[in-house]
Amino acid sequence: MDSDVFAQLVVFTQQVANGLANGMGYVLIAVGLTLVFGVLRIVNFAHGEFYMLGAYFTYYVTALAGIDYLGALVLATLAVAAIGIVANQFFFRPLRKEHEFTILLSSLGLALLMANGAEYVFGADPKYVPTRYADETLEIGPVVVTQQRVLVIAVAFAMIAATYWFIRHTRMGKMMQATAQNPEGAQLTGINTGFVHAYTFAFACGLAALSGALVGPTAMLTHTVGDWAVLKGFIVVVMGGLGSVTGALFGGILLGVAESLGGGYVSLGFKDAIGYAIIILVLLWRPQGLFSAGSGRR
C-alpha cells in the first residue's frame, strides 16, 4: 500500500476521533436542551450558560480548593443542577401560561444575565481548567488521542445510556414522558407537573454542566463560552429534531465529525459556519429534524 494514502488515512481517522470527542460534548448539551423543550416546551436560550457554569465551577474546585478533577466534575454537576432549580423557579415558572415568544425572551434575559454576571464575578481573563488527563495520551495504532478526549467520549456515552434508561424505565422518567405528551392528562392522573418540570430542568442543567466540566479543559475558558455552547446545542437539536434524545445523540456526533473534517480539509476559519449551514438546510428540507417523525411546522 502506498505510504501516502496510509498517511492520509491516519490523518482522516485522527480528525474523526477528535470530532467524536467534540461531538459527544455537544450531545450532552443537546440532550438537556431537547428534554427541556420536550417536557417544558421551552426553547432555552440560556442553556449554554449552565455549560459555562459547569466549566467555571470545575476550575474553582480543582484550582483553588485542590479537589481532584473527577471529584470536581461531580460537585460542579450537582451544584449547577441546583442552580437550575432556582433559575426555573424565577424565570420560567411564572411564565408557564405565556406565549412561547415571551418565554424565549425570558430565557434570552437569563442568558445575558448569567454571561455578564459571570464576567463580573469570575473576571474577563481566560482560565485553563487543570486536569491530569490532558497531557496523557492513548495510542491506538498510529492514532493519538488525549486521555481527556477518551474520558469525554466514555463518560458522555455512559451518561446518555443512563439517561435513556432513566426515561424509559423509572417512575420519574415515565412521569416526564407523560408530561411531555399531554400535560393536562398527566395532571389528571395525579402527576405533579410542576415538580416534573423542575426535575427535568435541573437534570438538563446538570447534563450541560457535566459537558462543560468535561470539554472545558480542552479549550480556553471565558465567560462568553455559553453563547458558543447554546449555538452548538441548537444546531444539534435542530438536526435531530426538537424533543428527540436519539436525534440529539446522532446529531451531536454528526456535527462534531463534520466540523472536525471541515476544519481539517476546507478552512479552519469557516469551521463554525458549517453548523449554521447545516441547520439552514435541515430546517428548510426537514423542519421536524432528520431523526424525528413528528412535525416541527405549526
Partner 1 sequence: MTAAPRMRALGAVAALAVLPWLTGNAFLQHMMVLWAIYALLALSLNIIVGYLGELSFGHAAFFGIGAYTSALLSMQWGVPVWLGPFLGAIVAGAFGLVIGFVALRIVGPQFAILTLGFGAILHTITNYWVDLTRGPMGISNIPPFSLGPIALDFAQARNMYYVALVFLLGVAYVCHALMTSRRGRAFIAVRENPALAASIGIDVFATKLHGFVVATAIAGAGGALYGHYLRVITPELMSLQYVAALIIMVIVGGKGTIVGPLIGALVYVSLLEMLRAAGPLRLVVFAALLTACVIFLPGGLVSLWRRLRERRLAPEPAGASA
Interaction site with partner 1 (CB under 8 A): 43, 91, 94-95, 100-102, 104-106, 108-113, 116-117, 119-120, 124, 227, 231, 234-235, 238, 242, 267, 269-270, 272-273, 276-277, 279-280, 283-284, 287, 296-298
> Grid coordinates representing 296?
416541527
At its nearest, how many Å lie between partner 1 and the CB of residue 295? 12
At its nearest, how many Å lie between partner 1 and the CB of residue 19? 19
| Residue 230 half-sphere exposure toward CB, CA atoms < 13 A | 21
Q: Closer CB to partner 1, residue 31 or residue 115?
A: 115
At its nearest, how many Å lie between partner 1 and the CB of residue 277? 7
Query: In this structure, are strands 137-140 and 143-146 parallel, antiparallel, or unpaired?
Result: antiparallel
At its nearest, how many Å lie between partner 1 and the CB of residue 192? 23
Q: Closer CB to partner 1, residue 157 or residue 270?
A: 270
Report whether 85 contacts 198 (CB < 8 A). yes
> Grid coordinates representing 93?
415558572
Distance (Å) of CA 199 to CA 32, 48, 105: 12, 18, 22
At its nearest, how many Å lie between partner 1 and the CB of residue 235? 8
Q: Closer CB to partner 1, residue 171 or residue 297?
A: 297
Report whether 148 contacts 69 (CB < 8 A). no
25: left (phi over 0), alpha (psi -120 to 50) or beta: alpha
Q: Closer CB to partner 1, residue 9 or residue 108?
A: 108
Q: Closer CB to partner 1, residue 70 or residue 95?
A: 95
Report whether 207 contacts 31 (CB < 8 A). yes
